[in-house]
A and B are shown apart, each in its own frame.
Chain A
C-alpha cells in the first residue's frame, strides 16, 4: 500500500487546478441536453481542447497529453472540484475512443480521433432499438453488403440515443449476417449522421430536455471504412466499450466526491432541515462517495499492473448509479418544498434516475455480478 502521489502527479494536479480556476465559466452553462446549451458546451469543449485538456490520457499526436491513468483520475477530480461543465463529448471520448484505440485501423484513428478531441465530430451511441434494450443481442437494424459501391446499406431504427439530435456521428451495431443468431453476425459501424437516408428526431427525456433521439436508417450507404473491427465481430468490439461505460471512464470518482461535498454544504446551509436522521443520510452518502473513490484506486492499480477489471466493472456501475440517486434524494429532502423548482439538485435527481437504466440496467449488472463474480449458475 502506498497512497501518496508522486511529485510529478502533484505538479499535474496543480497545473490542472490552476487552468480550471482561470477558465471554468463562472455562471453555470445551460443544460447541454438542449440545442442552445449544447452549442455553449461545444465552445467550452473547444477551449478545453485548445489548452490540451480535452483528452488528457490520449497520445499527444491525437490531442492528448499522454497522461497516465492516475493523472486522468487526478484531472477528473480537479475538473469536478472546479465545478466545470458536463462533458457533452463524453460518449465519443470515453466510450468510442477506447474501442478505436483497440480495434481501429491506423487510418480510422488518424481521421477520427483528432476531430473527436477537438469537438469537431460529436458522437452518439447507437445501440438501443425499440426491441433491443437490456437484451442488446436482439438488435434488428441491418447492414446489407453493396459490393458494387464498396460498402454497406443500413436499414432500421435506433432509439433513446443520448444527445442524438445534436451530434454529428453515430457508432452502432447492425446485423450483417441475417442467418446468424443473437450476438453473432453483428458489425460495429461508424456513421456520419448527415449520410443520405439517415433521419434524426429528437424527443424529450424525463427532465423535459430534448436529450434523446431516435435515428432512422433507410438504405443509408456507408463505405467499408465505416466498419470498426471485423465484419460480424461487432459484439466483441462493442463489449470492449461496455467495460468502459460501466466502469471507470464514464463515471470517475471525482464526480461523486464533489457532489457529496456539495451535499454536505447543502446540509450545513439547511441546518433547520438537517435533523439527525437526515444528517445520517448525508453522512452515509459522503461515505459512499469515499468508498467509490477507494474502490477505483484499487481498480486502477489492477489495470496498471495488467489485471483486467472484467466483470468487476459491473460493481462500479451498480455502486455509482445507486449512490447518485441516494445523494440527490437526500438533497431534495433538505430542500423541502424548494426542491420542486427546476434547479441543479432537482435536475440532478431526474438525471440520477437514468443511471440504473443506461449502460445496461442494474438488474442485468446484478446478473453479471452473480454469475461472473460469484459463480452462480446461469440456468
Chain B
C-alpha cells in the first residue's frame, strides 16, 4: 500500500506545472484560438510527449497509465489550458488505437475534441482537426471524425475561452463499438475531468488566498476575518477530500479494478461539487473584483462550471453510485 505519486509521476506533475506557469498564464487563456501563444503551449505539451501518454509504445506512444494522466490533467486544469488536453490525451487514445489510427494523434498537438453526448456543442472546436463523438456513459458506438471539411458554427458560451462550436459534416474515419474500449474512453474522460477540476479548484483557492491577504478593509486584510477564513477552509476541505478519490480512481482504471466504474463516479461527483464550492467561495471572498471579467478569476470559475457539468454532473454520478449500492432510485436517470 502506498497512496502517493511515484517519484516519476511527481516529476511529471512538476514538469507540467512548470510548463503551465511559463506558457499558460491567464493572458494565454484569454487568447484567440489561433494565437501563437497557444501554439507554443501546444508545442510544449508535444515536447513532453503528452499526445502519446496513454498510447502503447508499439503505436509510438509512451505506454503510461492513468496514474500519469491524473497529474498531467490536474496541472493543465490548474492553468485552465485552452486546449483539448483531456479529450486528446485521455479520451481519444484508446479509441484511435483500437481503430488502427493511433498515428493520427501523433501528428502534432492537442488535435482531438470530444462530444460524448453526440449532441454538441464541442469545446475547443476551432483548433481541433479530429473529433470523437458518442459513447455517453461508456457504451454505444463512438465515431472518429476528421474535421478538415467540417462546418464549425460558433456558439455563444459562458466561458469565452471555451471556443464552443456546433459541428456539422466531417468525415467519419471509423466507428469503435468494442464495449471495453468505449467504456475505457468514457472512464478516462470522467476521470480526466475530475482531475482538471481538482487543479482548477486549487488555482481558485490560491488566487483567493493571495487576494484576501492583500486586500484591506477596516484597516486589516479581509482574510483576517473569521467569516472569510471559514468559507475558504470549508472549500479547501472539500477539495482535499476529493483529490484522493480522483487519485484512487486513476489507480482503479489503471489496474482494471472491478469497481472502477464506481470509483470514477465517486471521483467526478466529489470533484465537481468541490470545484463548484471553490468557485462560489472564491467569487464571494473576492468581493466585487471577482465579479468582473477584467480580473482573471472568472476564467477558472467558468472552466470549472463547464467541466462540472460535462462527463456527467455530480448528481448524475451520485445516481450511478446509488445504483451500485442497490438503492435503485425510483425516478429516471438524469440525461446528463
Which chain B residues have a beta carbon within 8 Å of chain A's beta carbons?
1-6, 9, 67, 205, 209, 212-213, 220-221, 223-224, 226, 228-230, 232-234, 236-237, 240-242, 244-245, 247-248, 250-252, 254, 266, 269-270, 315, 318-319, 321-322, 325-327, 329-331
Contact = CB atoms under 8 A, between A and B. Distances in A.
Contact of A279 (B221, B241, B270, B329): B329
Given A70-B1, A279-B329, A318-B237, A291 B318 contact: no
B318 A287 contact: yes
A369 B241 CA distance: 14
Given A275-B330, A286-B321, A376 B250 contact: no
A377 B216 CA distance: 11
**Interface of A, helix, strand, loop or mixed by DSSP:** helix
A215 to B, nearest CB: 32
Given A3-B248, A378-B224, A287 B269 contact: yes
Given A318-B237, A319-B237, A375-B213, A370 B3 contact: no
A377 B221 contact: yes
Interface in A11-60: none
A323 to B, nearest CB: 9
14 contacts: A3-B3, A3-B251, A264-B326, A267-B327, A280-B315, A280-B319, A291-B245, A297-B244, A298-B247, A301-B2, A318-B237, A369-B233, A374-B205, A374-B229
Given A276-B329, A298-B247, 13 more contacts: A2-B251, A267-B327, A275-B330, A283-B318, A287-B321, A297-B3, A297-B244, A305-B4, A366-B233, A374-B236, A375-B213, A376-B224, A377-B213
Looking at A276, A280, A282, A370, which has the most chain B CB atoms within 10 Å of its CB? A370
Given A295-B240, A301-B3, A280 B229 contact: no
Given A1-B6, A279-B329, A291 B1 contact: no
A1 B233 contact: no
A366 B233 CA distance: 6
A338 interface: no
B245 A376 contact: no
Looking at B229, B236, B251, B252, which has the most chain A CB atoms within 10 Å of its CB? B229
Given A373-B236, A376-B213, A283 B3 contact: no
Given A283-B325, A286-B325, A363 B241 contact: no
A302 interface: yes
Contact of B327 (A70, A264, A312): A264
Contacts of A288: 241
A106 interface: no
Interface string A341-362: 0000000000000000000000
B281 to A, nearest CB: 11
A166 interface: no
A374 B232 contact: yes
Nearest to A369: B233
A274 to B, nearest CB: 7
Contacts of A373: 233, 236
A5 B266 CA distance: 22
Interface of A: 1-6, 9, 70, 264, 267-268, 274-276, 279-280, 282-284, 286-288, 290-292, 294-295, 297-298, 300-302, 305, 312, 315, 318-319, 363, 365-367, 369-371, 373-379
A379 B220 contact: yes
Looking at B5, B327, B329, B330, which has the most chain A CB atoms within 10 Å of its CB? B327
B229 A371 contact: yes
Nearest to B2: A2
A377 B329 contact: no
B66 to A, nearest CB: 9
A267 B329 CA distance: 11
Contacts of A2: 1-2, 251
A373 B331 CA distance: 42
A68 to B, nearest CB: 10
A144 to B, nearest CB: 37
B3 A298 contact: yes
A366 B234 contact: yes
Contacts of B234: 366
Given A2-B1, A287-B266, A291-B270, A370 B327 contact: no
A167 to B, nearest CB: 33
